[in-house]
Chains A and B, each alone.
Chain A
Amino acid sequence: MELVLAIGIGTLAASGVWLILRPRTFQVIIGLSLLSYAVNLFIVAMGRVRSGAPVLIAKEAGDPARYADPLPQALVLTAIVISFATTALFLVVLLASRGLARTDHVDGQEPEA
């Protein structure tokens, strides 16, 4: 399981990094999204892989080690919402940039040949 997840995270990250290094704005926005999946998964994985561990605690909390780690989950939960916000912002900026610069190159101008 760990190995599969690790490879998955690696593939997402590699695809994301490849895309953010590309010259077209849409590639970058897709790349950022892929990268954020990778990072979110990575953070949750820091709570260790535990399938089927309880997340809801009983009223009289027993052994904390029985539960899935809630802290990375809380971090990632807000990260997801914030990454949606940044994606939206970036999308609008790229649309405006395309309208103004007449190109979808990330620098706002085509590179000299």
Chain B
Amino acid sequence: MFLLAVLVLPFVGSFIAALLPVHARNAAAWLAGGVALAAFCIIAVAYPSVTHGGVVGWRTAWIAELGLLFALRLDGFAWAFAMLVTGIGFLVVLYARYYMSPSDPVPRFFSLLSAFMGAMLGIVLSGNLLQLVFFWELTSLFSFLLISYWHHNSAARDGARMALVITSSGGLCLFAGVLLIGHIVGGYDLDKVLASGEAIRSHPLYVPALVLILLGALTKSAQFPFHFWLPHAMAAPTPVSAYLHSATMVKAGVFLLVRLWPALGGSNEWLWLVGSAGLITFLLGAFLAVFQQDLKGLLAYSTISHLGLITLLTGLDTPFGQIAAIFHIMNHATFKASLFMAAGIIDHETGTRDIRRLSGLYAFMPITATLAMVAAGSMAGVPLLNGFLSKEMFFAETIEIHDNSFVDQALPYIVTAASTFTVAYSLRFIRDVFFGPAAVGLPRTPHEPPLLMRLPAELLVLACVVVGIAPALTVAPVLDTAAGAVLGSNMPEYSLRIWHGFTPELLMSILAMVGGVGVYMMLRSYLLVNEGPPLLGRFSGKEVFDWMMVTLSWRLARWLESKLGTRRLQPQLRVLAATAFLAALLPLYWRGVPLADPLRTPFDLAFALLWTVGAACAVGAAIQAKFHRVVALILLGSAGLVTCVTFVWLSAPDVALTQIVVETVTTVLLLLGLRWLPKRIAPAWAEAPAGRIRWHRARDFAIALSVGVGLATLALAAMQHPDTNSISRYFIENAYVKGGGTNVVNVILVDFRGFDTMGEITVLAVVALTVYALLRRFRPAPESIPVPEQQHAQDSHDEAHPDRQKGDTAKDTTETASLMMRLMFPVIGVVAVFLLLRGHDLPGGGFVAGVAMATAFILQYMARGTTWVEARLHFMPVRWMGIGLLLAGCTGAAACVFGYPFLTSYFAYAELPLVGRVPTASAFLFDVGVFSLVIGATVLMLIAIAHQSLRRYAVPPQSGRHLGSEASKEELV
């Protein structure tokens, strides 16, 4: 349980810190520091329970269905790591309190830092690999936010993005690898995975799993070839760098390597993959570090190099190597954190980090200088400091024989050479910064920092010295516990002593020291003037990274878009139609078309004749739609009527009713629209179309024909197939019993599937409002703005005769029709209400009644014109829609009041005077809501278009070209 507290505490602290005001500098620091210290103390007192292979666990169900547990697990190794994370975390908070400028939003900084610490603790304490991956990605995320803390700085943004892309891609690889491991082992529990090393190594998926997990670990630990993100991450505030480089982030990678070594290690693949990555990184990092001119850059490359050393140690695949790796992880954390802090102090006090400008700082800040020198000595491997001890172990391990290959034999020489560079850059750090003539022209005059800012570095350096002098008394039991947790019963003999006698490793240390001084002397003059390293100056990981990012996210995407994408509608629809055809064809092709059954219903001549007309209308509409729109519209309407009659034939009276009223309204709608669509006149002489167009037409014709034949075949096959037992049976059996209606279709709509209907009427309302909104700012085609030809002729006739008024001709010619239309209003209204009322038991219902009622209104508009109607009839469609939706919704919600699910319907018989017993169902009220909404929506759409004729548009002086001047002329009304 205390483990959960340790894990949750930083996140809680982070959340509270995020809520603090921007200036709450001390409060945020207290909070973050307190959290870190509390976690540190809790873990520290848990020490007795992890010695001698003890494991503390805590687990709870996470996704119980999948057997996943949320497991926390603390063993010796995790304990040591958690101590580093929280201990150094606390020191970094303390340091950051003095480092951060009051003008920065400091609570955000401490909030992110605490969350980052929590994520790191999550990795360390995870007892489940999936959970580990989660926290792993969380560290990538929070490190991104921390590195980009000064987000006004483009270097910080770029560095943060690079770190995120590389480490989180690595995290994805790790995720895939962990899934493979879970597949091999049959679970993600860490204990189980660690115990099944044999099974994993002998599995055919071992190599892919290993490679994927290594990609995760090596990217995180900034190992070659992914090392380049780390130097760019130093754009972060220095406390962040101190933390990322010492106890967290990059250490997560080596933590994972050591953690999983019992499960994944012990194979040639491990030796070569991990070992060579470590060796190359160790050598390359040390070499590049020498040539850095930025203090933090030097430290960043030295981190890369030291992590390479640790990776190499794990890669050498021996138990002793793991012990040395763990030891060096601890030592590197202490000296590197203090070095970064010192670098931060120098930057803070002098205003520059350029080694060439810094000089003789010892005179100004002797204590800081001493601290930095001791830490750098530890980094170089100077005796009596902790770095020396682990380096000795490292040298001893490299001398051992592993697979006795050429590289293995050369290993001691290579690492000695690399170590000379380590010595050289450490020496450079000391000599160039603290000694020599006093620096001139610094942005600020340096002096010692505040006592508390120095304190963290002092404590860390003290640890370096104490461990270095008396390892057996201090670190030995902890290291023993940590190594024991990883190695179990496999512990080799080793001893932590300063003096082992004149051993080969001591000779290697001495050689490295002497060589390092020599290299430094040789390179001094070169370093004073040159910017980058020799030989490798042209090659930069960042450029490769940038090139890859641009290629992937821009060029490749653009290329794919240009090859596969189009903004043109026709190709898209063509692909859509062809795909639909193929999608239906393939199953038929594989399973065969069951057309063998005899026809089920006898041939009917009338029906055949009906469809001869229908098919002719459809084809005619297809031919005429380009140049003769009204003709096409009439033919479309005729095809619709044939469809409608067919619905009657197919025993679907409700559908037929709806079809015929909707058909009417659609035709009116399209006719109203045609007023604003300028004529398209066919060329008098039909020029033979160009070859490309002929080819396009042929192709489209083929697609259309295929779809038609395909759909016909499919329909025929389905219709001949015997009726299957569908859910319709349930509806028929229960329509009256449960829904209280004998018209099953209507009962389905308003009761069984009432929620669907609710959604559909909402769509209808939304569409109507959209149509209305689009037409509010409608700007018609300029050619269609003048009064139409026919109206012009009528008007000029009226104007020519003094006894006639404008509009008389139109009125005269439609007088009879208009009178009939007006008389129809009450008739249609009664029919609509009739349809609505009978809907539950007989064909009818809210939809058809609503559209029918809407036609009554439209007829009035057509009969006497918009102005006349609106002077007499104040119809507010939006209100009808609102009331309808509200009524339908409330009827549904009323069921909730009685404790039933939404839209449960209730029915009973009501005794009405005179009328007698009538069935009443709450679904009827719902249907009234549908009715009201459908009227409102239909009328709103139609009169919105009709109203366009009332608006007067500025006729452009010359139609066509002057788009610019046109745009400024708003409609007048």
Contacts and interface: CB of A to CB of B under 8 A. Distances in A.
B577 A21 contact: yes
B733 A61 contact: yes
B378 interface: no
A108 B254 CA distance: 59
A107 B599 contact: no
Interface string B593-637: 000000111111001100100110011011001100100110010
B588 interface: no
A57 B732 contact: yes
B625 A68 contact: no
A73 B654 contact: yes
Contacts of B732: 57, 61, 64, 67, 70
A15 to B, nearest CB: 4
Nearest to A24: B626
Interface string A5-30: 11111111111111111111011011
Nearest to B615: A11
**What is the size category of the interface that chain A forms with chain B?**
35 or more
- The DSSP consensus for interface residues of chain A is helix
Contact of A57 (B574, B619, B744): B744
A78 B732 CA distance: 19
Most-contacted residue by chain B among A24, A60, A93 (CB, 10 A): A24
B843 A55 contact: yes
Given A77-B749, A99-B778, A18 B701 contact: yes
Contacts of A27: 625-626
Interface string A65-93: 10111110110111011101111110111
Contacts of A60: 736
A112 B611 CA distance: 41
A44 B652 contact: yes
Nearest to B608: A4
A84 B763 CA distance: 12
A19 B1 CA distance: 69
A99 B781 CA distance: 4
Interface in B840-869: 841-843, 845, 847, 851
A23 to B, nearest CB: 6
B734 to A, nearest CB: 8
B779 A81 contact: no
Interface string B721-756: 001001111011111110000111100110001001
Contact of A71 (B665, B728, B764): B728
A45 B705 CA distance: 21
Given A5-B719, A17-B703, A69-B728, A98 B767 contact: no
Nearest to B690: A113
A2 B779 CA distance: 48
Given A6-B713, A44-B652, A89-B770, A81 B640 contact: no
Contacts of A7: 611, 615, 712
B942 to A, nearest CB: 8
Interface stretch (B384-392, B430-438, B674-682): B674-682
Nearest to B940: A88
B742 A57 contact: yes
A59 B707 contact: no
B780 interface: yes
Contacts of B615: 7-8, 11-12
A51 B654 contact: no
B655 interface: yes
Contacts of A5: 607, 611, 646, 715, 719
A11 B626 contact: no
Interface stretch (B7-15, B45-53, B464-472, B565-573): B565-573
A60 B737 CA distance: 8
B742 A77 contact: no
B352 interface: no
A38 B711 contact: yes
Contact of B636 (A30, A80, A100): A30
A77 B767 contact: no
B711 A73 contact: no
B742 A56 contact: yes
Contacts of B669: 84, 87-88, 91
Contact of B760 (A10, A82, A96): A82
A69 B652 CA distance: 9
Given A30-B621, A82-B764, A88-B941, A53 B651 contact: yes
Interface of A: 1-24, 26-27, 29-31, 33-34, 37-38, 40-42, 44-61, 64-65, 67-71, 73-74, 76-78, 80-82, 84-89, 91-96, 98-100, 102, 104, 106-107, 111
Given A16-B622, A21-B703, 10 more contacts: A24-B625, A41-B643, A41-B647, A45-B715, A48-B600, A55-B745, A77-B749, A88-B771, A92-B771, A99-B779
Interface of B: 567-570, 573-574, 577, 599-604, 607-608, 611, 614-615, 618-619, 621-622, 625-626, 629, 632-633, 636, 639-640, 642-643, 646-647, 649-655, 658-659, 662, 665-666, 669-670, 673, 676-678, 680, 700-701, 703-705, 707-716, 718-720, 723, 726-729, 731-737, 742-745, 748-749, 753, 756-757, 760, 763-764, 767-768, 770-771, 774-775, 778-782, 841-843, 845, 847, 851, 934, 937-938, 941, 945, 960, 963
In the A-B complex, the 9 residue pairs with the smallest Cβ-Cβ separation, listed nearest first, are: A14-B708, A10-B712, A18-B704, A68-B651, A70-B744, A6-B716, A15-B622, A11-B615, A85-B767
